[in-house]
Structure 1
Amino acid sequence: MNPKQKKLLTRIIVALVLFVIIEVAAQTGILRAAFGTPGDVYAEFALFLIPYLIAGYDVIAGALRGLVHGHALDEDFLMTVATFGAFALVLFPDTEPHMAEGAAVMLFFQVGELFQSYAVDKSRQSIADMMDIAPEYANVMEEGKLKQVDPFELAPDDEFIVMPGERIPLDGTVLTGESQIDTAALTGESVPRTARPGDEVISGCVNLTAKLVVRATKPFEDSTVSRILELVENAAEKKARTENFITRFARVYTPIVVGVAAVLAIVPPLLFGGQWSDWILRGLTFLVVSCPCALVISVPLSFFGGIGGASRLGILVKGSNYLEALGSTETVVFDKTGTLTDGTFSVTELVCAPGVSKAELAGIAAAAETFSTHPIAQSVRAYRDSLTTDARPDSDNDANLAQPDSDSTTTGARPGSSSTTTAERVRDVREISGQGVEAVVDGRNVLVGNGKLMAAHDIAFTATDVPGTVLYVAADGTYLGAIVIADTVKPDAARAIADLRAAGVKKTVMLTGDRTPVARAVAAELGIDEVHAELLPQDKVAEVEALLAQTERDTNGKGKLAFVGDGINDAPVLTRADIGIAMGAMGSDAAIEAADIVLMNDDPDDIARAIHLARRTMGIVWQNIVFALGVKFAVLVLAAFGIANMWMAVFADVGVAVIAILNAMRAMNVKRYLD
C-alpha cells in the first residue's frame, strides 16, 4: 500500500473500533442508563458523529469542493447527502434513529474506496513492473575507463558496453561479444536469445551472460523502449465505446436518480399525507443505492487489467478501444511473408536456358540484386557465394560474374561502401514495384523478377510450375533461366490458424504478392479459407476494402476485420483494417506507428491469444455491467416501496462495487496463456 492508502486504512480501523464500541453501548442500554430518554438518542447522535467524521471528512470536503466548482452530482455528493440525511432523521421523534446506519454507510463507502484504490494501483503496478524496461544509464569507454552516461547523450554510431545483468540502453548492432539476451519484458518469451557479432539488439532487454560492445543505431528517443513506454502510457487515453457509454450513462443516470430520490422524499408527504420520516428514509436509501461507482470503476479497471495482462504476453495494445474491437473480430487477414512464413528464403532450384550455366545464371542475378536488402535478394547472393567455393567456371565470363572480387563483399554491399568494384560492375539499378529489378551489369541490361517484368519487356520466357517464388532472369533481351526460391512456413502457423477458429474467428484470408501456385500451396497447408495472390501493395488495400465491406454485410456491422502484417511494408493495410496487428515487429518504428496492436514476439499463436484475452475481458466487462445494474435496479425498486433498509443500500453500493472490482481484476490474470 502507498502512504495515502495506509492513512485511510488507519482511519477506517479507528472509526470501526469506535463504531463497534458505541453500537454495543447503544444496544446494551448503557447510553439509556447514562443519559435517559430521549437523551440517549442525542448521545448516539454525538457519539456516532466521531467515527463518521474520522472515516469520511475527506468525502464531505470533496462534496463541498464539487458544489463550489459545479460538479456536485458525484459519488462524494451522493454519500454526503445520504449520510447527512440519516443523521438528520434525529429531528423526527416518531422514527427509529438512523445515526448508526449513517456512520456505517460512510465507513463502508471508505472501505470500498480503499479497495478500489488498491485494485487500481495493483493493476497499474502490474503494468509498471512488466514494462520496467527503461535503462537508467549507458556504459561508454572514455580514456580507458568505463563511464556511466545518460542514454539520451548517445547518438547513432556511438559505441557502448553492456555488462552482464544490465539492460541494453539503446537499439544497436553487436560489435563484439556473445551473450544470452532476456527479452521477456518485451516479448513475454521466457527462453533467452543468443546475441552474436552482427546481430541486432533492442533496448529494454537484459544482457545475461557476457559483456557486449554495441554500436547504437537510433537515438534514445526513437529506441524501442521509448516507443513502447510511450505506447503504454497513452493506452488509457483511447477509451472503448463501452467505457464511453458508461461515462455518458453516469452523467445522465446520476441526476435522474437524485431527482427521483428528492421526489420520493418530498411528494408523498405533501400530496398524500405520508410520514415525512418514512419517505425521507426511502429517499435516502434510494440515494445510497443509486451511486454508480461499481460501474464507473470496474469497467475501466477491466480494460486496464486486460491491457496489462496482454503486456505480460508481449502483446502491446494501444488502447481499450482496440481491445474491444479485437473481441469482436470475425475475419483475420494475413500477409504471408514474415507472418505465416519465417521470411528466410533459400534457393531450391535453378532452371537454366540452353547454353547457360548455373554459375552464370546465379552470378548475373546476384549482381543485379547487389544493392537490395530484400530477403529474396539476400538468398540469391548467398547461393551465388556458395557456388564460388567449388565452382568450375566454363568460361572467363562465368568466372567474372559468378565470383566476387577478393577486395569486395558483393553480398550486402551498399552505395557509399568502400567497394568501388561493385559500383563499377553494377549501375543504373531500378526497382520496379511488384515486378522486380532492372540493372546494368558489366554493360548488359539485366532484368530479374517475376513474369510480369518479363512480359513488360517483351521477353520470351518459359514459365515454371515448380512450387516457390520464381525469379526469371534475362540479359540484353535474352532469357537466361529461372531461380526458384522457397520460404519456410512457421512451425506454429497451422496451429495458430486452428486456434483462431477455436477462438471464434469465422474466416481467415491470406494476401500475398507471391505467385498463385505458391500462395495456394501455403494456404492449403495451413487451412486458410481464402487466398489472393500476385498482389501489388495497392492491390492489398483494395482487397482489404472489399473484405471489410463483406464482413460488415455478413455480421450486420457487428464483426470486425483484423489485418496481420510485418508492420514495415504493410503500413497502409494495417491502417485501413478495423484492427491492425504488427507481428514480429521488435524494433520496427513502422509497426509501432501503423498498428493498433503490436505482437513483440514472432509467434503466430499470439494472435489467437490476443483474441481470447480480448473476448475474456469483454465478457468480464459485461458481467460487471449486468450484475451492477441488476442488483441496483432491484434494490432501488425495494427502496421505493420502503422494503429496502439502509444496510441493503450499503450492500447494493459498496458490496456490489467490491464484487465488481474483484471480478475486474481477473482480467489481469493471464497465467493460462503463459503455460
Structure 2
Amino acid sequence: MSVKDSLFFKAPCCSDRVPAQGRKASRLAGVEQGAKAFSRKRWLLRAGFSVGAAFFAVGMLADFAYPYNLVIFLAAYLLAGGEVLFRAVKNISGGQVFDENFLMSVATIGAFAVGEYPEGVAVMLFYQVGEAFQEIAVSRSRKSISALMDIRPDFANLKIGSDVRRVTPDEVAVGDCIVVGPGEKVPLDGVVVEGRSALDTSALTGEALPKDVAPGCGALSGSINKNGLLTIEVSREFGESTVSKILDLARNAADRKSATEHFITKFARYYTPAVVFAAFALAFVPPLLAPGAQFADWINRALVFFVASCPCALVISIPLTFFAGIGGASRSGILIKGGNYLEALTNVDTVVFDKTGTLTKGVFTVTRAEALNGWTKDELLCFAAHAESHSTHPIALSIQKAWKGEIDAQKIADYEEIAGQGVRVWINGKTALAGSGGLLDADAVARPDVDALGTVVYLAADGICAGYIVISDEVRADSRQAIRDIESLGARRIVMLTGDSRSAGETTARELGIDAVYSELLPHQKVERLEVLAKSKIGRGKVVFVGDGINDAPVLARSDVGVAMGGVGSDAAIEAADVVLMTDEPSKLISAVRIAKKTRSVVRQNIVFALCVKAVVLALGAMGIATMWAAVFGDVGVSVLAVCNAMRALTFPRGVFLTRRGAQSPKLLASCLTPRAIFHNRDNTRAPTA
C-alpha cells in the first residue's frame, strides 16, 4: 500500500449492517488476516531496506573493483528499491505510466547505465526514507480521526426481564433496555430509566467535564459511563445512532476534496508527463545538435532532472494538510465533512445565525407576570396555564411549568389554536384569549403596550384584558464573544434569521451587536432570505449559516457552508450540515475558521516552497551544476519538509490565530457599544432604540 493509499484508507464502519452472525465473523476474520498480511509485508520491506542500506555502506566504505562494486550496489538497489520497481511496472500495466514510481525507476536505472552506481542506490534509499517519513506523518494525521473508532461499541448488555445478555449493538431494537456498567461505553442512543452516573462525552464533544445523568436524561452512544450502573431505554437503532453517524462523517471526510486538492491533482496529471518529455529532450537533443556535446554528460543532467522533478511534495503534502486540519478540528469537537468545506471557511463573507437554540439556549422561563383589572398574579398564571394546557409550544410549556398547581381538564372546552397568534378557549364558561397583542387587537380587546425583554403573552377573559406574562430565552454565555470574534476574523456581515417575534429578535440582536435581523420567518422564508443574502455577497466570499435543528435543515443545505449547533441530537442537522459543532457553543465556529485559515496558510507555504526549490534544482540540473545529491534533496528533502510542515495543521494552540487587534481598537470597541440598524421582514424598516 502506498502512502497516498494509506492516507485515505477506510476502516470498516460500525454502521455496516450484517444480516447474520456467521457472516460478520467471517468478515472480521478477513479483516484480521488482511491486517496481519499487511504487517508481514511491511516487516519484510523494512528488513530488505535495512540489508540494502548495509550493502550500500559496505560498497561506499570498501573500494571494490568492477564487477564486484556493481554486484554490491545492484544488490543494495534491488533490496532497497525492489518495491518501487514493482509498483512502477504494475502501474504501467494498469495504464498509469507517469507517477513518482516511474520517475524514480527511470532515474536510478539510468544512473546504473552511466556507471553512477552509488548515486543510483542513494536516490532509491533516500526516496524510501522519505516515504517512511511520509507514512509516519500520515499515521499521526490519522490519529485524531482514528481515535474516533475507539468510541465504536463492541457489545451491548441487553436486559430481558431479570436477565442480562451480551449481544452485538445492531441486535438491539428501539424500546429495548440495555445495562451500562462503570467504565463501559454507551452502545446506543437512549434515555436513562434507572440509575445515576457521570458520562464522559469528550470523544463526542471535546468537552472534558463529565455530564451528570439521572432518570429522564438522554445518553448518547459513544459516551463512557464513569461510575454508576445505568439502565437505558434505546431510542435509536444502531445504524442511526450518534456514534454511527460520527464515524460515517469521519470516514468519508477525505472523499470531499477542496479546490486546491483538485488543482494539485490536475496539475500533477499534466506536470509529470511534461517533465518526462523535457528530460528525454534534455538527454538527446543537445548531443545531436550541439557540436562536441557528450551523451554521457547530458544523460546525467537528464537523470538529475528526472529525480528533482517528482511532484511528491505537492501530491502528498496538500491532501495530508487538509486531512490534518480535519483531524485537528475533530480534537476540538468540530466535525468537518470534507476539505472543500474546510477551505470554504477561509473566505467568509456573511455569517447567518438562527436565534433560538443557537445564540440563545432555547429554554424559556416566565420572568414577569402582571395582573390587570382586578386579577391577581396567581389567578393570572392559573388562567394562562389552563389556556395553554393543550399546546406543546416551548412558550406554552414554560407557562405550564410556572403554574405549580394541577390542570383541571373539565374546565376547558372548545380549544382553538390560531396559527402565529395564540389560542382561543373556553375556561369555566369564559371566552379566554392567550397570545400576541395581535390576537387581542383582532377581537378589539384593549391592552397595554408592553416593551419587555422577551416574548409577551397577553391574557383576556370575556373581552377584558386580564394581564400579560413575559417569557424570556436566555442568551448563551459565549454568544457575545463569538459575534465579536467573527468580525475580527474578517466576516463582512452578521445576520440573524428567526421565527420569533419582531421585539424578541430585535432585543437579542441589539444585545449581541448583530448587523441585521429578519424576524417572524417560516423555514421556507429563511431559505428565501438566505438566497437574497447570497446574491449580495462580494466576490467568492461564502455565506455560512449556523442553526440547530430540524426546522433549519433546508437553509443549512442551501448555504455555502451549513453549520449545525449541537448536531449530535438532530438527525436532520447532521444530514444537511457541512460542519457539525459537537457542543452548543457558537464560539466553536470561531475555532473552525481559525483551523481553516491555518490549514490554508500551511498549504500555500508548501506549494510555494516546493515549486521554488524544484524550479531552482531543475534549472541547475539542466545547466549541469546540480548533482544527483542535490536532486535527491529537491525531491525527497522537499517532500519530507513539506510533510513535516503539513503536520502543523494537526496542532491547534487555542487562541493563537484570533486577532486581538480589533478588540484593542477604540474605534471598533466604540462600534461594538453602539446600537446597529436592525431590519425586519415584511418590508418594515425600523431604527433601533437606544
Q: TM-score range by the shorter chain?
A: 0.7 to 0.9
- 1:567 and 1:574 in contact (8 A); partners too: no
- 1:18 maps to which residue? 55
Indicate the percent of aligned positions where both proteins have the same amino acid. Answer: 50
- 1:223 and 1:587 in contact (8 A); partners too: no
- 2:455 and 2:503 in contact (8 A); partners too: no
Cα distance between partner residues in 2 of 1:428 and 1:673: 54
- 1:347 and 1:383 in contact (8 A); partners too: yes
1:530 and 2:563 are equivalent in the alignment: no
- 1:404 maps to which residue? 407
Cα distance between partner residues in 2 of 1:369 and 1:295: 63
- 2:236 maps to which residue? 218
Of 170-179 and 326-335, deviating more is 326-335
Tell me how large the CA RMSD over aligned residues is: 2.5
CA displacement at 1:550 relative to structure 2: 2.1
Aligned residue runs from structure 1 range 202-601, under 5 A = 202-273=220-291, 274-385=293-404, 388=405, 403-405=406-408, 421=409, 425=412, 430=417, 432=419, 434-437=420-423, 447-454=433-440, 461-474=447-460, 479-551=465-537, 553=538, 556-557=539-540, 559-601=541-583
CA displacement at 1:15 relative to structure 2: 1.5
| SS of match in other structure, 1:370 | coil
Cα distance between partner residues in 2 of 1:561 and 1:426: 48
| SS of match in other structure, 2:350 | strand
- 2:144 maps to which residue? 126
Cα distance between partner residues in 2 of 1:212 and 1:218: 17
- 1:567 and 1:595 in contact (8 A); partners too: no
| SS of match in other structure, 1:562 | strand
Task: Give the letter aligned to residue 331 of structure 1.
Answer: T
| SS of match in other structure, 1:114 | helix
1:166 and 2:184 are equivalent in the alignment: yes
- 1:31 maps to which residue? 64
Provide Cα deviations, 1:513-537, integer angstroms capped at 9, x if missing partner: 3333433332333232333333333
Give the TM-score, by structure 1 length. Answer: 0.86
What runs of 5+ residues in structure 1 fail to find an aligned partner?
33-39, 90-96, 389-402, 406-420
Change (3 A) 1:150 1:445: farther
| SS of match in other structure, 1:338 | helix
CA displacement at 1:591 relative to structure 2: 1.3
| SS of match in other structure, 2:491 | coil
- 1:627 maps to which residue? 609
Task: Give the letter aligned to residue 550 of structure 1.
Answer: S
Task: Give the letter aligned to residue 605 of structure 1.
Answer: S
1:190 and 2:227 are equivalent in the alignment: no
Provide Cα deviations, 1:207-243, integer angstroms capped at 9, x if missing partner: 1010111111111111111111111111111111111
Change (3 A) 1:168 1:279: same
- 1:70 maps to which residue? 95
Provide Cα deviations, 1:110-132, integer angstroms capped at 9, x if missing partner: 11112212221222233111442
Change (3 A) 1:137 1:372: farther
* 1:84 aligns with one of 106, 109, 112: 109
- 1:306 and 1:617 in contact (8 A); partners too: yes
Cα distance between partner residues in 2 of 1:3 and 1:457: 83
1:661 and 2:643 are equivalent in the alignment: yes
Change (3 A) 1:145 1:251: same
- 1:92 maps to which residue? none
- 1:240 and 1:322 in contact (8 A); partners too: yes
- 1:176 maps to which residue? 194
Larger radius of gyration: 1
- 1:113 maps to which residue? 131
CA displacement at 1:149 relative to structure 2: 1.2
Cα distance between partner residues in 2 of 1:443 and 1:613: 62
Task: Give the letter aligned to residue 47 of structure 2.
Answer: T
What runs of 5+ residues in structure 2 fail to find an aligned partner?
1-37, 658-690
| SS of match in other structure, 2:468 | strand
* 2:584 aligns with one of 589, 595, 602: 602
CA displacement at 1:444 relative to structure 2: 6.8
Cα distance between partner residues in 1 of 2:308 and 2:529: 52
Of 210-219 and 461-470, deviating more is 461-470
Cα distance between partner residues in 1 of 2:306 and 2:557: 46
Change (3 A) 1:511 1:10: same
Change (3 A) 1:106 1:196: same
Change (3 A) 1:446 1:642: farther
CA displacement at 1:373 relative to structure 2: 3.8
Task: Give the letter aligned to residue 294 of structure 2.
Answer: Q
